[in-house]
Amino acid sequence: MMKISAAESQVMEALWKRAPQSAEELFADVGEAQGWALPTLKTLLARLVEKGALATQKEGRRFLYRPLVARDDYVEAESQGLLDRLFDGRLAPLVSHFSERQKLSAQDVADLKRLIQELDDE
């Protein structure tokens, strides 16, 4: 899976929610809120096209952008990469890390218990 920067991931998130979009539409959607200039956004789009994350389609005088990478596939690869780099590929040490630093809310704990119960039931 390709490496996508934090700024590029914001562009991808906008396109995963609604595609295709033009650079101008994306600028209105995410660029202005981030304080980016339109040329900055266009640079991000060009990088994502070069990486193979986006496809372009010419429509009149503008280009429309759409993702070539499914969000679920990207999240899976990034999540596994994090686990591999920091926790020897294991999920339990990640959860333990957050638990020890009191970063798990009561809702997080309840959700984890529910997920474990669902796994046990399978």
Distances (CA, A) of 71 to 38, 109, 112, 114: 24, 25, 22, 24
Q: Write the pLDDT tens digit of every residue in 26-75.
A: 999 999 999 999 999 999 999 999 999 999 999 999 999 999 999 999 99
Q: Which domains does the chain have, with CATH numbers?
A: 1-89 (1.10.10.10), 90-122 (no CATH)
- Tell me the angle at which helices 6-17 and 38-51 cross, rounded to the nearest 10 degrees: 80
For the cut 90, the answer to whether the pLDDT of residue 2 exceeds it is no
- What number of residues does the chain have? 122
Banded model confidence at residue 8, pLDDT cuts 50, 70, 90: very high
* Tens of pLDDT, residues 82-103: 999 999 999 999 989 988 887 8
Structure confidence at residue 104 (pLDDT): 87
